[in-house]
Amino acid sequence: MTEETLPAAKDRSLSGWQLSKLHTFEVAARHESFAKAADELSLTPSAVSHSINQIEAQLGIQLFLRSHRKVELTSEGQRVFWALRASLQTLSQEILDIKNQALSGPLTLYSRPSIAQCWIVPALADFAQRFPAIKLSVLTGNEYINFHRTGIDLAIYFDATPSPQLHNQYLMDESITPVCSPAYARQFNLAGQPEHLSRCMLLHDQQAWSYDSGTDEWHSWAQHFGLNLDTSAGLGFDRADLAMTAAIHHAGVAMGRRRLVQKKLDSGELIAPFGGMELKCDQHYYISTLSDRHWPKIEAFTLWLKALAADDARFRGAAPG
């Protein structure tokens, strides 16, 4: 079908029949292939081609250029495709917003692995009891995710500078102090003697707040307390809880984040051999969401996290931030 043979469209508004055929057009335009569109729609390629011919005739617009081996969108077809995709995305978002106006349904959290393992997951029984209709999924990773592409509803990050593109809420502060097993502390006579660290294996979370934070935690702590300590050596990990596990098994001294190691300190699996030598981090934990997602279940989970952080701080005798 050529542009000269297309009849002029009679009406400005789309009919229900035309709207139904636009679905076929959207699939064919996305693949730029009638054969692939046929596979997705469970039709034959000839049926897809026939539907496209019909919608072109109805609209009075040539949507595709056809050759023996391929089809491609015309400039008009590209405009229709972009408008259709934008409309479908808007409609999908509206439907999603409607569905999420209740305290029920799926909710996906993204978190740094260590804060999920050591702090969030142990408390989830309480959240499930309070909000049994919310189906929570927890995903972990060290990267900063794209909310639009991943299906994630909210994230917990640990950094000093939240993204200005997101809606961010402060969750809690953090502080660091060296931790090790009681046996390791006895072996190297560490109690109250940080100068003995020079003989120890240092354990590093090399992605504490970014992919290249390296040995910065140990360096910052040593510099703050005026210790001449070579922090460039030791064992490296990409998660704080792995460094903590290595410390429990006598591999060395880890730089412990207080929020993450407190339960291990309480149980006696780890000790903090240098007493009050604790450094408040410039970084803090914060909750990030898309600015337009004012969903009750996101708000409920956010308030639960903040209450958990406040209770955690009160338990330790510290004021919440």
Q: Are 203 and 248 in contact (CB under 8 A)?
A: no
pLDDT, tens only, 263-282: 999 999 999 999 889 999 99
Q: What is the pLDDT of residues 173-214, one digit of tens each?
A: 999 999 999 999 999 999 999 999 999 999 999 988 876 778
Quote the pLDDT of residue 300: 93
Q: 152-162 burial, b for 16+ CB within 10 Å, e for fewer?
A: bbbbbbbbeeb
Q: Which residue has tokens 């400005």?
A: 12
* pLDDT of 3 higher than 50: no
Q: What pLDDT score was predicted for residue 233?
A: 85
Taking 80 as the threshold, does the pLDDT of residue 1 lie above it? Answer: no
Specify whether the CB–CB gap between 170 and 284 falls below 8 A.
yes
Helix and strand numbers (H, E) in the chain are 12, 10
What's the Cα-to-Cα distance from 184 to each of 191, 198, 254, 314, rounded to whole Å? 10, 14, 11, 30
Residues 6+ apart with CB under 8 A from 97: 295
DSSP 173-230: EEEEEEEB-HHHHHHTT-TT-GGGGGGSPEEEETTSSSTT-TTHHHHHHHHHTT----
> How sure is the predictor about 318, in pLDDT bands with cuts at 50, 70 and 90?
very low
Q: Distance between CA atoms of 213 and 243, rounded to whole angstroms?
A: 15
pLDDT at residue 152 is higher than 80: yes
Where do the domains of the chain lie, and which CATH numbers do they carry?
Answer: 3-98 (1.10.10.10), 105-172+283-315 (3.40.190.10), 173-282 (3.40.190.10)
Confirm if 235 and 201 have CB atoms less than 8 A apart: yes
Summarize pLDDT for 71-125 with one digit per residue, the tens: 999 999 999 999 888 888 777 766 766 665 667 889 999 999 999 999 999 999 9
Backbone angles phi, psi at 182, to 5 degrees: -55, -40
- Nearest-5° Cα angle at 14, 12 to 20: 160
The pTM (predicted TM-score) of the whole model is: 0.66
Tokens describing residue 174:
């953090």
